[in-house]
């Protein structure tokens, strides 16, 4: 993926007026598949359970969108992602024939999402971007999840925004617009950084600027989309360090 001229991009798209970079987190900032499969394998070892833990991670993530859709469709009131993750985990235990697990062990596994680690380019890139911009999350993850993840890995967020703050789940417009409003900024003063073209399109539709980060291995061999940018996003980069280069952050 070729680098783009940061000066040209800024001139063409008004990127110089951007005050805040808001980040999708799962897949863009952290490696959920690797992290969840490792935590699940450790859970299995502690409890004498042998399963395909990569498949378990994929299946747990596979229940993510359907669970949120029940909220988006108005079939249930807003609940935090921790609650949806726990409901999905209980469902997975049934599918995988896992029984007799204590509440303490189950809760610890559910909070594996709080302990996900960033891709290796993330911290160097974010620290450079932080010199010039307000940084925050624009994630479907709830506040406690995002805060714990940041403290575990040193993610330099200035604000934790997204689903719980706006009581909505992406790609609902209010998730994007409410996050910008919470910072006292117009949508065009905020840029979404994400590895998912659909997320970026929803942000652009709300008036936000956009930056694509390529994560072609997020879903391992099961990835079917987001191998490359599919639109003319303001910035297109292979990783966070390259994004900092393109924007001109020292």
pLDDT at residue 2 greater than cutoff 60 = no
pLDDT per residue over 111-138, tens digit each?
A: 999 999 999 999 999 999 999 999 999 9
Domains of the chain, first to last: 6-31+116-247 (3.40.50.1000), 32-115 (1.10.150.240)
Please spell the DSSP secondary structure of 152-219, one letter per residue. Answer: HHT---SEEEEHHHHT--TTSHHHHHHHHHHTT--GGGEEEEES-HHHHHHHHHTT-EEEEE--TTTT
**Whole-angstrom distance, CA of residue 59 vs CA of residue 89:** 10
pLDDT digit string, tens, across residues 165-205: 999 999 999 999 999 999 999 999 999 999 999 999 999 99
Letter string b/e over residues 30-57, b meaning 16 or more CB atoms within 10 A of that residue's CB:
bbbbbbbbbbbbebbeeeebeeebbebb
- Is residue 221's pLDDT more than 60? yes
The 3 state secondary structure assigned to 72-108 is HCCCCCCCCHHHHHHHHHHHHHHHCCCCCCCHHHHHH
- pLDDT band at residue 1 under the 50/70/90 scheme: very low
Q: For residue 222, what pLDDT is reported?
A: 84
47 has a pLDDT exceeding 80: yes
Residue 3 scores a pLDDT above 50? no
């Amino acid at each position: 993926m070729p680098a783009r001229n940061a000066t040209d991009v800024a001139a063409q798209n008004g990127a110089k007026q951007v005050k805040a970079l808001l980040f999708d987190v799962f897949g863009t900032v952290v490696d959920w598949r690797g992290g969840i499969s490792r935590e699940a394998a450790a859970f299995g070892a502690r409890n004498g359970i042998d399963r395909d833990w990569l498949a378990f991670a994929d299946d747990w993530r596979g229940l993510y969108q359907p669970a949120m859709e029940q909220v988006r469709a108005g079939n249930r009131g807003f609940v935090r992602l921790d609650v949806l993750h726990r409901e999905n985990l209980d469902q997975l235990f049934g599918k995988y024939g896992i029984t007799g697990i204590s509440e303490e062990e189950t809760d610890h596994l559910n909070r594996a999402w709080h302990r996900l680690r960033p891709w290796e380019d993330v911290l160097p890139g974010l620290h450079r971007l932080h010199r010039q911009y307000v940084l925050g999350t624009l994630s479907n993850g709830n506040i406690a999840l995002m805060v714990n993840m940041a403290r575990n890995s040193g993610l330099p967020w200035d604000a934790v925004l997204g689903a719980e703050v706006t009581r909505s789940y992406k790609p609902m417009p209010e998730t994007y617009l409410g996050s910008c409003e919470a910072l006292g900024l117009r949508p065009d003063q905020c840029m979404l950084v994400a590895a998912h073209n659909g997320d970026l399109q929803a942000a652009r539709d709300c008036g936000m600027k956009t930056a694509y980060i390529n994560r072609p291995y997020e879903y391992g061999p099961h990835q079917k989309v987001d191998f490359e940018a599919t639109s003319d996003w303001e910035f297109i980069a292979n990783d966070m360090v390259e994004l900092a280069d393109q924007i001109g952050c020292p």
